[in-house]
């Protein structure tokens, strides 16, 4: 069962998600040999927010968080900021129905989560970001697809591993549906 969240809860989740995305992306990114591309752990947090609060929260937290990283570092690079929003949106849509908040996070949900992460990262880093770079910024295709491929691979691994751990721990803190009984 998926819980619906009030607009206030969603706005707060967007703000916290974007802030966490920014802090992790700005201060915990691991550089790679490919220019302007790093190994990032913030996508695990973004995926968790998208799963727990929905696709709108995932999309906006990803877009705003990435925008904040770029504004304070490289400068605005819209194609990659949109890609982060697409990632959050897709993960949220693909896991719109789950029972994690009810304490259920078994192997099938973990597998669905990882599949959603793979699909979302593929769309974000193998399509949206490189295509946007070529169309918006006239970047060389070979460069942006190399960047996108590394981002896809590294972000998928980190988001799957850390996301499964976080969601598993979170689910264990929740009371399972039907686990409480009333003795007469």
| Burial degree of 107 (CB within 10 A; 0-12, 13-18, 19+) | exposed
Q: Is residue 183 part of a domain?
A: no
Tell me the CATH number at 118: 1.10.1760.20
Q: Is residue 178 part of a domain?
A: no
| C-alpha distances out from residue 5 to 10, 57, 80, 121, 164, Å | 6, 10, 28, 25, 22
Q: Is residue 1 part of a domain?
A: no
Q: Is residue 16 part of a domain?
A: yes
Q: Is residue 182 part of a domain?
A: no
- Structural domain of 110: 7-172
b/e per residue, 18-32, with b = 16+ CB within 10 A? bebbbebbeeebeee
Confidence (pTM): 0.91
Q: Is residue 143 part of a domain?
A: yes
Q: One digit per residue, pLDDT tens: the chain, 184 residues?
A: 556 789 999 999 999 999 999 999 999 999 988 888 899 999 999 999 999 999 999 999 999 999 999 999 878 999 999 999 999 999 999 998 887 888 889 999 999 999 999 999 999 999 999 999 999 999 999 999 999 999 999 999 999 999 999 999 999 998 765 655 555 5
As beta bridge partners, residue 30 has: 39
Position 178 scores a pLDDT of 61
Q: List CB contacts of 112: < 8 A, sequence separation 6 or more.
A: 94, 95, 98
- CA dist 93 and 16 (Å) reads 20
Q: Is residue 22 part of a domain?
A: yes
Please give the tally of structural domains in the chain. Answer: 1
Q: Is residue 31 part of a domain?
A: yes
| 151 within 8 A of 125, measured Cβ to Cβ | yes
As beta bridge partners, residue 38 has: 31
3-class SS of residue 31: strand
């Amino acid at each position: 069962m998926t819980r619906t969240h009030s607009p206030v809860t969603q706005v707060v989740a967007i703000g916290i998600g974007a802030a966490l995305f920014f802090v992790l992306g700005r201060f915990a990114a691991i550089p790679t040999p490919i220019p302007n591309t790093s190994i990032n752990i913030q996508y695990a947090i973004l995926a968790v927010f998208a799963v727990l609060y929905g696709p709108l929260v995932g999309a906006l937290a990803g877009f705003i968080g990435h925008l904040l990283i770029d504004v304070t570092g490289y400068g605005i690079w819209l194609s990659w900021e949109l890609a982060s929003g697409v990632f959050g949106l897709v993960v949220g849509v693909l896991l719109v129905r789950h029972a994690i908040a009810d304490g259920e996070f078994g192997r099938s949900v973990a597998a669905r989560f990882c599949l959603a992460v793979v699909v979302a990262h593929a769309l974000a880093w193998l399509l949206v970001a490189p295509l946007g770079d070529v169309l918006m910024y006239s970047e060389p295709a070979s460069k942006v697809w190399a960047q996108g491929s590394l981002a896809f691979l590294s972000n998928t691994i980190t988001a799957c591993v850390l996301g499964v751990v976080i969601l598993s721990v979170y689910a264990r803190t929740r009371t399972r549906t039907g686990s409480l009984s009333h003795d007469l």
